Copies of this chain bind each other. A is one copy, B any other.
Amino acid sequence: MTDTDSSTTTAKAPTRRALLGWGGAGLALGAAAAGGTVAMSRAGGDVDPAAAESGAAVEFHGAHQAGIATPVQDRLHFASFDVTTRDRAAFVQMLKDWTEAARRMTAGKPVGEGAYGGPAEAPPDDTGEALGLKPSRLTLTIGFGPSLFEKYGEAFGIEGKRPAALVDLPKFPGDNLDKNRSGGDLCVQACADDPQVAVHAIRNLARIGFGKVAIRWSQLGFGKTSSTTPEAQTPRNLMGFKDGTRNIAGTDTARLKKFVWVDDKDGPAWMTGGSYLVARRIRMNIETWDRTSLQEQEDVFGRTKGTGAPIGKAHEHDEPFLKAMKPDAHVRLAHPDSNGGITILRRGYSFTDGTDGLGRLDAGLFFLAYQRDPRKGFIPLQRRLAAHDALNEYIQHVGSAIFAIPPGVRDARDWWGRTLFSEEA
């Protein structure tokens, strides 16, 4: 990131923090305007895939949070936080500070006065490892977990505001969940084309949140497994297959409206323009899979491995003929035609976290799915898959979380969570 605030270690020029005011003090000048020559793509449901060039900045403001319909970036750092304060004012101030930091980092700027612009006797406002790196299409997306409402509803004055759709996920057959990789009061999804930019963003938010929140678990994703830009080649997961071929496109306003964005009729009002995120850490039994025949692998998925075409078809994007597949094939079971039209927006990433102590790679898919209502999205879909999917022999769900994703930050005065925490219109 380019530190435009100071050109030497000791310069004490008026800082952008002073000019803009933290916490939304009133200047209608956002990071977008301040971004100068940085190329901006549009956020939320209004995406210009041509602007998805690596290195550019993604607009932070919008009706929806960026990082959902935004063309999927290459790398992920996802963090789940526990709240550690019962002080409402301190927590709200942290959300405002986070918003300002996110506004700057997504525009390719360091937090506050930067890594070396502040007073020498104080810790720098920014940790500095992203200095000199491009914005790298960084998006930061915040969510609120069920436990925030249950544990802090009274302290934070948000009693009764838990959305009905923010259900506790049921236990699915085969779940083997590690509670240290599950749940959380808050989450932040950082996606970027450069992993150092994504790691930097989460770390700086954790630093700003010190004393108010603590990281509960985090997950690095090294390669995207889904695309929201249909013209691009579908990435392969660690099983070597193209999955998510028929994902919702970031440009498909009609499907986004129908399946992803919370409507003003859905309620509660504070969630209008938001969405719901289900995150699942899915471990793959890589070594077993790698000793499975090609025929079995293709039968399990219902696709050919080479082109990714549905069984019996020639091309990846050909309409699947479901009856040509085995009854328990993954694509057949997951297809909307088998599920009364269930459709979710997938944004998963491959992970490899070393080994498991038994000489096996701890690797798989960190599954991220956005939807308008998990009761009509992930839950019925996963009930069906958990019961029947042939893939279950080779995978195991080991982490799980659900979050309400509030609507976008409208402008330079707005902040993450305002619709939940503020009485303002």
Contact = CB atoms under 8 A, between A and B. Distances in A.
Given A203-B286, A236-B128, A3 B306 contact: yes
Could you say how many copies of this chain the assembly holds? 2
Interface residues of A, number: 73
Interface stretch (A20-28, A98-106, A208-216, A254-262): A208-216
Nearest to A11: B306
A357 B118 CA distance: 32
Contacts of A291: 123, 207, 210
A305 B124 CA distance: 10
Among A237, A293, A304, find the residue whose CB has the most chain B CB atoms closer than 10 A.
A293
B292 A123 contact: yes
A207 B127 CA distance: 40
A424 interface: no
A379 interface: no
B304 A217 contact: no
B354 A294 contact: no
Interface in A274-292: 286-287, 290-292
Given A236-B129, A238-B129, A353-B353, A207 B120 contact: no
A423 interface: no
Interface stretch (A29-37, A39-47, A163-171, A218-226): A218-226
Interface in A302-320: 304-307
Given A293-B120, A294-B124, A357-B180, A132 B306 contact: no
A122 interface: yes
A231 interface: no
B218 A361 contact: yes
A322 B241 CA distance: 55
A342 B294 CA distance: 53
Given A350-B196, A361-B203, A123 B290 contact: yes
A143 interface: no
Given A8-B306, A352-B77, A215 B360 contact: yes
Contact of A294 (B122, B131, B306, B357): B122
19 contacts: A9-B307, A116-B304, A116-B305, A120-B293, A120-B298, A123-B290, A124-B294, A124-B297, A127-B238, A131-B306, A196-B350, A199-B222, A199-B350, A215-B360, A217-B355, A218-B361, A220-B220, A220-B222, A220-B352
Given A132-B236, A220-B354, 8 more contacts: A3-B306, A9-B307, A124-B297, A127-B238, A128-B239, A199-B238, A214-B359, A220-B352
